[in-house]
Chains A and B, each alone.
Chain A
Amino acid sequence: MQLIMGKLTSYIQQNIVGMKTIRIFRREKDVVDGFKEVESIYVNTAISAGKIQSIYMPLGPAILTLGIALVYVYAGYTLGIPGSALAVAQVGDIILFARYMMRLTFPIRDVSQTLGTWIAAYAGLERVLEITDAPRNVEDLPNAKDIKIEKGKLELENVTFGYVKDRPVLNNVTFMVQPGEKIAILGATGSGKSSLIYLIPRFYDIQTGSIRIDGTDIRDFKLASLRKQIGVVLQDVFLFSGTIRENIAFGKPGASMDEIVQAAKSARIHEFIESLPCGYDTPVGERGVTLSGGQKQRVTIARALVGNPRILIMDDSLSFVDAKTEREIQSAIEEATKTRTTLIIAQRFSTIKTAEKILVLENGSIAEFGTHNELMAKNGVYKKVYETQFVQKASPILEEAGGA
């Protein structure tokens, strides 16, 4: 019953969340038909469950009432035999007895209901414990310290990582990034680009090898200390409901207004924010203004910059944007990455162009690593991608550069 109920709910959820896709493919009718099918199973299950329940639920009180009748009969009988050892004798006693039995009606009903609740609660508790008992995969090591990142030199040595034990996503990756350098990462879908950059703030722990920042293994940092010093711009732009100011200051609660404005300026969003009715105090999200994808992305860039991190990792995969937005984001990225060690998953040639070095990933291994000129001279994967994806396309919007 709970199972089929969950099925119905998830069907509705999927339908509503995926409404756009359904509309695009004109599958509305199939969806409604499919829903009716799931629903009819649900209704039938609910009714047959109701049938069982309706047999059992009134049974307890009914039996009890019959029991009272028995008391009357027995009492009447003993009353009829004077001097009987079992004589209950007093009418008052009989009434008292019957009334006590009546009082049992509600408790009995309650007990049978509680039993049902108990079963549901037990199943619920199991699921709750499943979450609370889930192991934490990334934790502070006992000797972890707060360490300040001074320069931002990044080294990866023989890094192997997989989400599942024997299926590595990254294989023996080794490279070094000098302080302030910008590395553009290219690669096909599933080549391990995102996994690679998520290893730096320890979203996941590597299986073998080491990742060092300024010569210190990242596992020697306290998690909070490490993450606060690395600016992260994720692929999906997520803003919390609240004001723009709160969103930018998210990573550094209590950041001064100057810091916030500075970050917004670097992210090329300051002027836009100023143009809003309440400026930095304009609420965003459900109850506030709706920002476009490009504006949101620039707010997330500002959010990454507010702590003035030495290291920046960015997943710049915003594909479907117009030329103007593209230029704005581009300029924001350029400004933001100027003095910072940056790993950026690049989709646009303009991003790649400004990077000092390019890292091409293929099936979790480094295929090529070097400057644009070096890689062009190598006549390898990069050159091929460069020529097919960037040169031949006349359009200024170069989406899907890495084939993502």
Chain B
Amino acid sequence: MSSSYGTFSTKQEERRKRTVPDRVLIRRVYEYAQAHRRNLIIGVSATITGALTGLASPYMHAIAIDRIITPKNLSGFIWWIPLFAAIILGNYLFQYIQTYQMRVVGEKVVAKMRDDMMEKLQVISLRYFSEGEAGRIISRPTNDANAVRIFIRMGLTSILVDVSSILGAFAIMFYLDLRLSLLAITVLPIAILLVWFLGKYSRAAYRRTLITTSGLTARMQEDLAGIKVTQAYAQEKETEKKFLKSQDENVKATIRAILIGSSYTPFVIGLRLIGTMIIVFYGVNAVLTGTITLGILVAFTEYQFAYFMPLVDLVTMYDQYQSAMSAIERMFDVIDTKVEIQDPPLERSVTLR
């Protein structure tokens, strides 16, 4: 079985290097999304607005502390409470719209792609369905489609939320106090470098698990298909031994990937705490000298939280983005397969007598 026809490849896909650039893939997926543009636009705007309303709440805390609680001006709550409730309600509403609309887009786009794949599978050469390959073909409209579906629903949304949270938090922080903001972000480059550097190892380890997992799946498929032969020759123990070896490899690779993947979380949290310490240290002085209010200092520590985690999230999202792109590429691979024998339409077919 050769893949010299420019058709979808069959072997060792996890190891395969991707050949189609991301922007081409994204553009093509976007063409699919065109049909649901309304949902997409509503979903994306709700996502961004939702993230921004989420940022309003620390600022509201600052106001509550500075203007109402500290000066013991309780009547301020009369306007503060409805406003705060409205922001929270708005945030909830936007999140609801975002989750729902992005889900609609994700499901419908992937459904259309799946349809196209199924239609193509009905007409392409039968040689793709030769034995042993069925599993790989099946995984395109099922596993790959599912991965893309989840990515559009969660990954894409996370990226949007993260980017708007980060930019929004920065904007508010710089607006509140320039000097404190600059101090707050000093630890940021270190954190990004660290996550990126460790992420490289983690990605390599993760790719290794993809290979061992597919090895395990292949092993299992074969063991099940050949179970009669195995029993007939009383080779159950040997077969089990081989299976356990595959399984063991997979478990080890997975544990390694998790170990590396989780190793940077404590570093990141540590760096965030250092950032908070810097803010509090300089902030307290600033509060004492009266340059900023106590409420703003509190809000600052919240914003530090609001941009730091999304940033780390974004870096780790890179993996998800990559695997979604490979899944998309594999799906288009099927959709683009050349049809070797074109059937005439049914109306023109000749009846043999």
Verify A250–B235 contact, CB threshold 8 A: yes
* Max chain B Cβ within 10 angstroms of own Cβ: one of A29, A62, A99: A62
Q: Which residues of A contact B23 (CB under 8 A)?
A: none
* Max chain A Cβ within 10 angstroms of own Cβ: one of B11, B133, B225, B233: B233
B118 adjacent to chain A (CB < 8 Å):
yes
A201 to B231, CA, bound (A): 9
Q: How far is the CB of B17 from chain A (nearest CB, A)?
A: 19
Give the residues from 67 to 111 in chain B that come closer than 8 angstroms, CB to CB, to chain A. Answer: 68-70, 72, 74, 77, 81, 84-85, 88-89, 91-92, 95-100, 103-104, 107-108, 111
User: With contacts A26-B346, A43-B107 known, is A66 near B85, CB below 8 A?
Assistant: yes
Partner of A79, one of B69, B119, B226: B69
Verify B107–A46 contact, CB threshold 8 A: yes
A39 adjacent to chain B (CB < 8 Å):
yes
B160 adjacent to chain A (CB < 8 Å):
no
Verify A91–B142 contact, CB threshold 8 A: no
B173 adjacent to chain A (CB < 8 Å):
no
A128 adjacent to chain B (CB < 8 Å):
no
Give the residues from 41 to 59 in chain A that come closer than 8 angstroms, CB to CB, to chain B. Answer: 42-43, 46-47, 50-51, 53-55, 57-59
Binary interface profile of A, 202-241, with partner B (CB < 8 Å = 1, else 0)? 0100000000000000000001111110101010101011
Q: Which residues of B contact A23 (CB under 8 A)?
A: 122, 126
Binary interface profile of A, 330-355, with partner B (CB < 8 Å = 1, else 0)? 00000000000000000000000000
B7 adjacent to chain A (CB < 8 Å):
no
Verify A228–B234 contact, CB threshold 8 A: yes
A285 to B219, CA, bound (A): 13
Majority DSSP secondary structure for residues of B touching A? helix
Q: How far is the CB of A9 from chain B (nearest CB, A)?
A: 5
Verify B99–A39 contact, CB threshold 8 A: no
Q: How far is the CB of A81 from chain B (nearest CB, A)?
A: 10
Interface 9-residue window, one of A11-19, A168-176, A376-384: A11-19
Verify A62–B92 contact, CB threshold 8 A: yes
Give the residues from 225 to 272 in chain B that come closer than 8 angstroms, CB to CB, to chain A. Answer: 225-226, 228-229, 231-235, 238
Interface 9-residue window, one of A70-78, A155-163, A181-189: A70-78
B57 adjacent to chain A (CB < 8 Å):
yes
Interface 9-residue window, one of A30-38, A116-124, A263-271, A316-324: A30-38
Q: Which residues of A contact B286 (CB under 8 A)?
A: none
Q: Which residues of A contact B85 (CB under 8 A)?
A: 66, 69
Partner of B142, one of A12, A29, A102, A240: A12
Q: Which residues of A contact B111 (CB under 8 A)?
A: 39-40, 42-43
Tell me the count of chain A residues lying within 8 A, CB to CB, of chain B. Answer: 73
B64 adjacent to chain A (CB < 8 Å):
yes
B220 adjacent to chain A (CB < 8 Å):
no
Q: Which residues of B contact A253 (CB under 8 A)?
A: 235, 238
B114 adjacent to chain A (CB < 8 Å):
yes
A45 to B124, CA, bound (A): 31
Verify B232–A240 contact, CB threshold 8 A: no
Q: Which residues of A contact B226 (CB under 8 A)?
A: 238, 240
Binary interface profile of B, 114-134, with partner A (CB < 8 Å = 1, else 0)? 110011011100100110111
Q: Which residues of A contact B231 (CB under 8 A)?
A: 203, 227
Verify B126–A20 contact, CB threshold 8 A: yes
**Closest chain B residue to A12, Cβ basis:** B141
B298 adjacent to chain A (CB < 8 Å):
yes
A177 adjacent to chain B (CB < 8 Å):
no
* Max chain B Cβ within 10 angstroms of own Cβ: one of A40, A59, A69: A69
Verify A20–B69 contact, CB threshold 8 A: no
User: With contacts A15-B121, A72-B64 known, is A54 near B142, CB below 8 A?
Assistant: no
Verify B232–A58 contact, CB threshold 8 A: no
Partner of A76, one of B69, B107, B141, B225: B69
Binary interface profile of B, 140-166, with partner A (CB < 8 Å = 1, else 0)? 011000000000010000000000000
**Closest chain B residue to A22, Cβ basis:** B122
Partner of A75, one of B69, B138, B141, B225: B69
A130 adjacent to chain B (CB < 8 Å):
no
Verify A50–B100 contact, CB threshold 8 A: yes
Verify A223–B65 contact, CB threshold 8 A: no
Identify the A interface with B (CB < 8 A). 8-9, 12-13, 15-17, 19-20, 22-23, 26, 28-29, 31-32, 35-36, 39-40, 42-43, 46-47, 50-51, 53-55, 57-59, 62, 65-66, 68-69, 72-73, 75-77, 79-80, 91, 94-95, 98-99, 102, 201, 203, 223-228, 230, 232, 234, 236, 238, 240-241, 250-251, 253, 285-287, 290, 303
Can you show 25 pairs from A to B with CB atoms below 8 A apart? A19-B126, A31-B118, A32-B119, A35-B115, A39-B111, A39-B114, A43-B111, A50-B104, A53-B99, A58-B96, A65-B91, A69-B85, A69-B88, A72-B68, A76-B64, A98-B61, A102-B302, A201-B232, A203-B232, A240-B226, A241-B132, A250-B235, A251-B232, A303-B229, A303-B233
The 6 A-B pairs of least Cβ separation, nearest first, read: A54-B99, A251-B233, A50-B103, A28-B122, A58-B95, A232-B232
